[in-house]
Every structure is written in structure tokens, then in C-alpha cells.
Structure 1
């Protein structure tokens, strides 16, 4: 019969169904590469949905009791695809305590309770893998933990939320307002009925917590991420940024400062048109890495969806199958490094600024304003420009002495 890796499945929605399909299609290939037969043997059935047809198609049993999966001695690994924090945290904790490996795509949970769950896994002598929690089908986390092992990363910048990237693409290319772009994203299924996590940058911030750990070995919380979303971003500012040679993207960034400390942020950023991240359109994701050894590289692909995310889940299962064939247990990440955090608002940077020209105190731009480029927009009576490097805190203080405008837009500018 050979070795087997039996799976208990929690969640048979879009991604869960995709995992069933990908495993069925790749079963023979995985067996040939690992010597282990990987299969789903049992899944938790929701009382609100009939998944009997799916279970029959892929040959696994259903149960209404989650504990039945955790206590089943024949099951080796639990795949959690329910999402959210509750009851996923309790389920994963119980699975690990019962010495089951766990594979999850749950970014919210990992970003919020990752250290606690990893400690449980280590104590139980099992693995907790979550490649699919960032970037959908993009193989980024294992790339960071293995390929960059002999390198030193200095910055990681990502378009890691497909919903907002789709919206910004439509606002840029089609001139849609924020509201119309959101409606279109919701109609296409890219945005939830409550889009808060996406448009306010929370989803991207969760992912930056995880990426910061893999890139720098630094454990942070979502409260450590300076977070700003795209809610209220005007098409006029996007168009003005284009005339300056930039595309506006929601960028998650973790980077070292001159003194070696670390800043982590999420927010709309002016990206130079010749930068690789500027070319990423619609719902796609891209993660750009700067390092001392490789210099610059980028991974790009679909950030969500049934097949891409399911493929990342199955990739984790394949690693577990290989580990079983070798008789080893391998943690996902062992990189720990204590690094001081700096406040993003206090780090010098160039900024895009726009505000109403009718609220300025005086008739000319003061010397300290030092715009490299200035534009007077007659259509909506706004001034827009890009500053020389200064901290956002300093810029805000100076603007307060120059204008009474309440609709000031400040966006960070990414250096080429």
C-alpha cells in the first residue's frame, strides 16, 4: 500500500472545493515525487449546506463533529479553510494539540495568533503551514524562508490585495469614481458586501505582518503597521499622479531605514511608471523584494481564487508528504531577529500633496514648500505637487502654517 497522508478537511467552499479538485488531479504526480499517497478521508459538514455530492465525487466521509476529525488517529493533517478567527482558532489549536499537522490559508488568524499557534505546534511536534495566507497562488513565503536564507532582505513591497488593485485599475484606466469602482468590484465578486477590510487596508496589513516575519524575522502585530486605505481617494489625484510619471497603488511595505530599524506600512503610494509594481493590473498581486545579494526580484500572479489558492494549499500538503517519506517534522519558519521599529511618519520621504488653492495663506508657495513639480488645477481649484524628502510629520506641521484646507491629500512617493 505504501505510505499515506490522510487529510481531514475543514471548509468545503470555493477554496476547499478547489483543494479537492487539485488533489485529485495531482494525486499520481505527488505520489511519484514523494512516495506518499495524499488523500482527503473525512470532512466537516456544515448543517447549512449539502456537500454529499462533493464527498461522493472525491471519495471522503462527512461528519458533523469537528472533534471527530481531531481525535481520529488515522488522520495526519487538518486543512482549515473556514476563514475568520472564530471558530478557526479553536479548531486549529485542538488539531495541533491532538498532534495533527495543520495547513491553513487563514491570514487573519496567522497574523493575529500565529506565534501562539506555532508554539502549540512545536510543543506537539507537528507542523503548521500557511503558504496560501499571502498572495493566493504566489509562492512567496517558502521562497522567503528558503531561497533568501543566504541573503539579507532590505525591503519588501507588495500589491497584496486584489480588490483594491482592481479598483485602482478601473479608476485609472476608465476614470471611474471610488464608489463606482467599488460597485464594479462587488459585482464581479472581488469585493465583499462589507468591503472594509479591503478598502481600509486591513487585509493588506494582516499580510504585511506575515511577510515582515518571513523577510526580517521580526514578530509584529497589526497595530505596528501604519495603515491607510483607498477610501475617498479621488480620480483627480490619480490622474495628476500620472502626469508626474507615477501610478497609484495600494502598497504594503516593510523596509529597513538608514539606522537599521524597520518601518511597516500599508497605504496608497505613487509608484514610478518604470517600476515593476506599476505594471500590475486588476486583481493580480505582486511582491517586490530588495536584498543585498540578489538586489531586486519580484513574484507575480493571481492573489486569490479557487485554483490559485488551492494550489498553494496542496503545495504545503506536498511538503508534508515529502517530510513523512523522510520521517521528519519541519517547521515552516525558524527565523527570529529582534529589530527596532521606527515610526513611518517620522522617516523622510518625498510626498505627493494636493489641496484647495482657495484656502492658502498668502499668494505664493513658500520657500520651505520646495515642490519639485507644481500644478495649478483650474478645474477644481487645487494645487498638487511632489515635495523634496521630509517626514510626513514635518510636512503636516508646515502645511498647517500655510493652508486652512481640510481636504489635503498626502501620499508617499516610492523612490525609483
Structure 2
């Protein structure tokens, strides 16, 4: 509200409702309760936690007064009079309903819910703009790593050429263990679960759903267009074998699950999640353990790298609390930051039209002319070879009289490479399936 002297009448207290009290939510609540004075100094007002919605209000939460707990999130949003609602429940419903209800009541929203934004972001952003409130979601993409705000604010005057990142700590931990300790996939996954890096049901991580949600958000921000999770091409890491890891190492590469968004030559958005071989010299190849990293290339700013813990209670809570302070400052000033700009409205390119490099590996009859025949087949499908290596097969599981060909292509169209693979597998000189991996940073 602005008075006659054109000064904002700033309330000295903002009421905050917290939905969800898991690992992250509990940390946010404890931070708000134990650092009240510090948060007040940073935001310019007192942030009063008026309620915490939980599944079981009868179970004590250490450090959180019982009187703040409620098992009725709808009532907390509808009747709590909150100025800011923090949504940390996760999933689609009821969070979608609760967030829209909060916005309709004039509350700004802070969320870490990547699945919700990747599927219903367009609806939520439109509602926030209509009601003149904020929606902030730094924690939805890479935990404590600041990437949403740089794309949304710092780089908004630049042209983003490429975003490529490791945005899931579970898969990076597994692939790192498969590389550095030569564990197979099942062993590495079990280790990740035992250490708490992977859930009991790891499907969202290892099948790439989590990374795909984040890729949709990043692509939407970078290219000012609506990109939904259904637009993202997705492959997980369950098909990555120890042989794939060894083959990548022989090329001076490692395998990482990458989320990639870039513009193609036709001005369309390529957005995909899949395992890829990455040259060891590339910054993303050096990201180990459960860390996340996002590599951004912009027309004017050049190459930028954001790296750090992408998950966990404290890192994610840090990002949520940072958003809370920013939203509080905006409320005091009587302004809001547009949640999402879609002025470009760029289309998403089909995966079949994507162009990248490929690493092909297949077993052939070891006789003269086979290499030339394979090269000719690729050339006939408009796929050019960058490098080729022939080596003996493993003695334990390969027929005698055969060799293994490893080829790295130049930039090629996905559809052309898939056609090459299908033709190679039909020839008489190729044994079994052609293994392939998309390649980045070569």
C-alpha cells in the first residue's frame, strides 16, 4: 500500500505458513524460530511462523512447538491469514490446490516443488501474476546452488546458448562409484541407499524423472517459453553397464546423467535428460559424489559454472530461507518479481531432430573390409566419423574371430544415428546390439 507521500506503508510483521515438515521443512521451521532477529534484520520485518502443516500433528517435532502443528493444511492456508506460504510437501496434489488457494488469498509462495512447477508451472505463474504476488523456487532445481535467480535476474539481459548440468545427486553418486570404485550398478545403488543418497524407491532419480522436471524449469527460464516435463526427452541410468564405464574411460571420458537445454539452428529448444560421455577436461566431468553442477554458456557472459550440494536438509533449507527473505523484502516494498516470462514462446524440438555427438560400440567379424563397410553405412545416413578405435573383445564373453569397433561421430542428427544403428544390427558382420551413448564436451 502506498500513502499520500508516495511511501510504502510497510507492515512490521509478516505471517508465514509452512506446509510440510520433512527434512527440509523441519530445518526451515527451526531456522525461523531460532534466528528470528537475524531474519528480521535481513528482511526488514519480523517473520512470524503461524503454523506448520504435517501429516501427523500428534507426533512431536524437536525444536518446533506443538501448538504450531496442524494436520489441516487447507485450513492453515484458508484461515491462517498468511502473507507468505512455504510449500514443501512435494508431489502434485494437494500442493497444486494449496498453492493456488494461497495465491488466490493474496499470499506470496516459496516452494521447492520441481514436479509441480514442471507440470503446472504455467497455471501457477499466471495466477501469481494475476494476483500480484511472488512465487520463488530456487530450491526446486539444485538445492543450495543459486541458478534460478541468475537465470531469472542476473542473466536476463543476455542470450543463453546452452545449459548443461548434473542436477540429481543420487545418479551422480552411483555413476561416480561405478567409475572410481568399479562397482556395478546394483552395488552402487545399494551403497547410495545405505548412505541416504537414494530413496527406498529410487525410481524418480535413476529413471531421470527428477532431472527432467528440473530441465523443464531451467529451459523455461532460459528461453522465456513454456516447457513442461512432457516436453523433455528422458532416459535414466539403469541401462549403464560396467562395460559402458570402461569404454568411456578408454576414450578419456566419464559418464554422467545430464540435463541439457539449448537452442538449435532453427530457433527451437532442445531439452533432454540422458546419460552421456563427458570429456574428462570438461568441468562437469570433475563433479563427484552426490554434488550437483550446472554449466551455462551465454552470448555475452561466456561460460559460467555453478556447483555445490544439490540436495539435503540444510542446503535446500538455505535456498528456501533465502527465497523467504527476498519475498518478504518485496512485500514490504509493495512490489513483486514476475515469476516467469514467456514472451518468446519458442517451440520444443523433437528428439529425433536433436544434433549431438555419439559414441557407438559394437562387435564385428574380424575380417578385411568390415571397417570400410561400417563407415560407408554411416556415411550413407549422413553420419560422419570423428574417430574410430578397434580392439580385441573380452575373452570371457565374446566369440573368437571378432573385434570391437568404437566410433565417435561428428555432430549428427538423432534420427540419422538411430537409422544407422538399426541398419548395422541387420548386417551380417555385426554381432548383437550396437551400444551407443550421446557425447558432450568432446
Are 1:252 and 2:259 an aligned pair? yes
Query: Is this contact kept in 2: 1:247–1:272, CA < 8 A?
Result: yes
CA RMSD of aligned residues (A): 2.3
**Match among 100, 108, 121 for residue 107 of structure 2:** 100
Could you say what secondary structure the match of 1:349 adopts?
strand
Q: Which of 416, 420, 437 pairs up with 1:394?
A: 416
Task: Return the TM-score normalized by structure 1.
Answer: 0.93
Structure 1 contact 361–403 (Cα < 8 Å) conserved: no
Say if 1:237 and 1:354, in contact at 8 Å, map to a contact too: no
Number of the residue aligned with 1:326: 333
Deviation at 1:359, TM superposition (A): 11
Moved more, 187-196 or 18-27: 18-27
CA contact (8 A) 1:352 1:387 kept: yes
Give 1:310's match in structure 2, choosing from 311, 317, 323.
317
1:37 aligned partner: 46
- Per the alignment, residue 192 of structure 1 pairs with 199
1:61 is aligned, of 56, 60, 68, to: 68
Which range moved further: 192-201 or 380-389? Answer: 380-389
Matched, 1:354 2:369: no
CA contact (8 A) 2:57 2:69 kept: no
* Structure 2 counterparts to residues 192-271 of structure 1, below 5 A: 192-271=199-278
- Structure-2 residue corresponding to 1:174: 181
Does 1:409 find its partner at 2:416? Answer: no
Asked if 1:8 corresponds to 2:17, the answer is yes
State the TM-score, normalizing by the size of structure 2.
Answer: 0.88
Closer/same/farther in 2, CA of residues 48 and 73 from structure 1, 3 Å limit? closer
Structure 1: how far apart are the matches of 2:334 and 2:303?
Answer: 36
1:26 is displaced (CA, Å) by 4.1
Instruction: For residues 91-111 of structure 1, give each alpha carbon's deviation from its aligned partner in whole angstroms, at most 9, with x where no partner exists.
Output: 212222222211111110110
List runs of 5+ in structure 2 lacking aligned partners: 1-9, 379-384, 399-403
Number of aligned pairs?
Answer: 414
Indicate the SS of the match to 1:315: helix
Which has more radius of gyration? 2
> Aligned pair in 2 of structure 1 residues 49, 263: CA closer, same or farther (>3 Å)?
farther
Return 5+ residue gaps in structure 1 as ranges. none
Secondary structure at the counterpart of residue 403 of structure 1: helix
More displaced stretch, 236-245 vs 331-340 = 331-340
For residue 285 of structure 1, report the CA deviation from its aligned partner: 0.4
Q: Secondary structure at the match of 1:372?
A: strand
How big is the shift at 1:360? 11
Indicate the residue corresponding to 2:161 in structure 1: 154
Shift of 1:270: 1.2
> CA, structure 1 residues 340+121, in 2 after alignment: closer, same or farther (shift >3 Å)?
closer
Once the two structures are superposed, residues 14-72 of structure 1 have per-residue CA deviations (whole angstroms, 9 ceiling, x without a partner) of 0011112333454333322332112312112323761354432xx86222322331233
CA distance in 1 between counterparts of 2:97 and 2:84 reads 16
Q: After the TM superposition, which of the residue ranges 321-330 and 102-111 deviates more from structure 2? A: 321-330
Q: Could you give the per-residue CA deviations for residues 319-349 of structure 1, whole angstroms, max 9, x where no partner exists?
A: 1111122122333333531223222333332
- CA separation in 2, counterparts of 1:25 and 1:375? 63
Distance 2:336 2:354 in 1: 42
| CA-to-aligned-CA distance 1:378-416 (integer Å, 9 cap, x gap) | 214443231233223212222333334553221111134
